Amino acid sequence: MKQENILKNSTKFFILKVKKDLVLEIFGNKKSIKIESGQKLKDIFNKKNYKNLKKAKKQNRKTFNIKWKKRKYEIYFEKNIFYFYDITLYCKVQSKLEKSLKELRSKKEELQAVFDLAANGISILDRNGMFLYANKFFQNMMEYSMEELYKESCISLSSPEYSAPSQTAVEKAIQYGSIEKFKKICITKSGQRINASMSLSYLESRDEIVMITSDITEEIEYQDKLEKQIELEVSKRTEQYELLCHQSRLAAMGEMIDSIAHQWRQPLNSLGIIVQGLRHISSQKNIDNKLLEEIESDIMDKINYMSQTIDDFSTFFRINKNKEQFDILISIEDAIRLIQVQLNNHNIKIEIDKKNITNFEIYGFPNEFRQVILNLIHNAMMQIVSKNISNGKIKIDIRNINNNLEIDISDNGEGIEKKLMPKLFDPYFSTKEKGSGIGLYMSKVIIENHMNGILKVRNIKNGAKFTIMLAKE
Ligand SMILES: Nc1ncnc2c1ncn2[C@@H]1O[C@H](COP(=O)(O)OP(=O)(O)OP(=O)(O)O)[C@@H](O)[C@H]1O
Ligand SMILES: [Mg+2]
């Protein structure tokens, strides 16, 4: 194609040959530029452009830009010829480019600020772990300047025992893309040891690793302190709990000795009478063998009863170390047997209502459970006695609800004052002159902490009702 043709078809480029203010010739795509020869420059361009054209010519500026018909042109002129280049697209692209560049620059500044303000060490490593960059925080933390860090690697800054694991961490980050919260000890320039947690992320396109380092020395020290504190607290509590257990058992023992005294009084009396009777028989000449046998069996009965009592009480004080399957009805009956004589003395009736339940098995500590029942019955008895109730009654109801066994122990001792309710299960809370106030506290600990059950209380018509709920496992 001839040069002229190229010009004719080009929409990007045209030439005007002028004489003074008049267009002599036009080269280029006339249709698109719509300029005729003979037109005055003044008429073709707007006032501003025309002025610029003139001014440029006058000042002999060889190139300048104008905006014309919504497009931008770069104009070059020589003698009386103006060359017009349409640079609209170029300008658009350039402005976009500039905008992107500006954004990029501000992003870089932003990133730099983030790096510098971060309260973590941020560094960039090559694939061997050598430092390529580190933010201020990291430099301060490790006490190295950037110039010094260029000669170091994340492996060389580790304490010796962590050199190999650090090497592996870098390799793993490259292999898997990242590794998180790798804990190690770093050594600062002055030789200080720092507990650090590192996260490494591999940037595949750059073959570099970003490493975030947090100093967790204080955290670890705090954790250690906390652990020690917890240990101390637990041991204090255990000590306190053991003391309470001990006190509670002592109190129970006192009650037991009371019971033994009561339970032995009658058989001892009987034995006394029998011994007196024996003296009378021995003064007779013919000793009746049959009578002697009867006396012997009578004595043996009393002695067996007394030794049974001692057995009952001694098993009561045995502590179960392990949980076991046991029958709560038997435990309740055992507890009643231990206190029966005292109940009789105070004319208090006790009854068990077990509905149609046949299975009373629970998984837990039978002796501790029996102690709870004894505590509750003993409290009910003391309440009835203190209120001088003549027809004292203690009722034990056992219910089976949704695989739970519920045991109510209710009395007719006029109940508990409302204001005392919130303190009832507190250790050392007692309204009795010589009460230790541990009974209910201990009972709650046993049922709720040792046997995962619930122990609660409420007042009923003439008295109080304690309820124990236990899951049949
Ligand atoms: N059945 C009850 N009716 C009314 N008040 C009760 C009943 N059971 C317990 N209480 C009240 O709860 C208080 C705390 O009982 P808890 O068994 O913990 O201690 P305590 O009986 O006073 O002393 P301890 O049992 O150590 O000899 C009692 O002093 C009493 O005021
Ligand atoms: Mg008590």
Note the pLDDT tens digit of each residue in 85-121.
Answer: 989 889 899 999 999 999 988 888 888 888 888 888 9
- Residue 319 above 70 pLDDT? no
Half-sphere exposure of 419 (CA within 13 A, CB side): 1
Per residue in 340-366, is it b (16+ CB within 10 Å) or e — as a string? bbbbeeeebebeeebeeeeebebebbb
Closest ligand 1 atom to 440 CA: 18
pLDDT at 285 > cutoff 70: no
Task: Read off the tokens for 99.
Answer: 């905008």
Rg of the chain in Å (alpha carbons): 51
Asked if residue 371 lies in contact with residue 446, where contact means CB atoms within 8 angstroms, the answer is: yes
Residue 393 CA to ligand 2 center (angstroms) comes to: 17
pLDDT digits (tens, 9 = 90+) for 1-30: 456 666 666 778 889 898 888 999 888 877
- Residue 368 pLDDT grade (very low, low, confident, very high; cuts 50, 70, 90): confident
CB 411 near ligand 1, within 6 Å: yes
Q: Which residue has the higher pLDDT, 266 or 99?
A: 99
Non-local (6+) Cβ contacts of 59 within 8 A are none
pLDDT value for 155: 94
Q: CB of 392 closer than 6 A to ligand 1?
A: no
Q: Ligand 1 centre from 386 Cα, in Å?
A: 12
Q: Are 72 and 88 in contact (CB under 8 A)?
A: yes
Atom number in ligand 1 closest to CA 255? 27
Ligand 1 atom 12: residue of nearest CA = 424
Which residues are bridge partners to 198 per DSSP?
182, 213
Judge if the beta carbon of residue 438 lies within 6 A of ligand 1. yes
Is residue 464 within 6 Å of ligand 1 at its C-beta? yes
CB 325 within 8 A of CB 361: yes
User: Both tokens of residue 100?
Assistant: 């992107």
Ligand 1 in reach of 412 Cβ (< 6 A) = no
Q: How confident is the model over 214-229, as a mean pLDDT?
A: 89
Strands 393-401 and 71-78: unpaired
Predicted confidence band at 315 (pLDDT cuts at 50, 70, 90)?
low
Ligand nearest to the CA of 457: 1
User: Does ligand 1 lie within 6 Å of residue 267's CB atom?
Assistant: no
Q: 179: helix, coil or strand?
A: strand
If DSSP codes are grouped into helix, strand and coil, which group holds residue 467? Answer: strand
Mean pLDDT for the stretch of residues 45-65: 85
Q: Is the CB of 389 under 6 A from ligand 1?
A: no
pLDDT of residue 63 exceeding 70: yes
What pLDDT, on the 0 to 100 scale, is given for residue 454? 96
Strands 13-19 and 81-86: antiparallel
Contact 49, 67 (CB under 8 A): yes
Number of helices and strands in the chain (H, E): 13, 17
Spatial contact of 443 and 454, defined as CB atoms under 8 Å apart: no
Best residue among 257, 259, 350, 379 to mutate for probing ligand 1, ranked by most atoms within 8 Å of CB: 379
CA–CA gap between residue 130 and residue 134 (Å, rounded): 11
What is the mean predicted confidence (pLDDT) over 364-372? 89
Helical pair 289-316 and 366-386, crossing angle rounded to 10 deg:
100
Residue 261 backbone phi and psi in degrees, to 5: -55, -45
Give the pairing type, strands 349-353 and 393-401: parallel
Distance from Cα 282 to the centre of ligand 1, integer Å: 53
pLDDT tens-digit readout, 410-440: 999 999 999 999 999 988 899 998 888 888 9
Q: Return the pLDDT at 145.
A: 95
* Residues in CB range of 319: below 8 A, 6 or more apart: 367, 368
Per-residue pLDDT, 97: 92
Crossing angle between the packed helical segments 289-316 and 328-345, to the nearest 10 degrees: 120
For ligand 1, whether the C-beta of 468 sits within 6 Å is: no
Note the pLDDT tens digit of each residue in 371-417. Answer: 899 999 999 999 999 999 999 999 999 999 888 999 999 999 999 99
Q: What DSSP string describes 269-335?
A: HHHHHHHHHHHHHHTSSS--HHHHHHHHHHHHHHHHHHHHHHHHHHHHTPPP-S-EEEEHHHHHHHH
Residue 372, both tokens: 């709870």
CA of 411, closest atom in ligand 1: 1
Average pLDDT of the chain to the nearest whole number: 88
CA 382 – ligand 2 centroid, Å? 8
Q: Cα separation of 320 and 285, whole Å?
A: 56
- The DSSP letter of residue 130 is B
Res 317: pLDDT: 62
- Beta bridge pairs of residue 327: 361
- Reported confidence tier of residue 273, pLDDT bands at 50, 70, 90: confident
pLDDT the model gives residue 217: 87
For a ligand 1 pocket test, name from 430, 433, 445 the mutation site with the most ligand atoms within 8 angstroms of its C-beta: 430
For residue 379, the CA-to-ligand 1 centroid distance in Å is 5
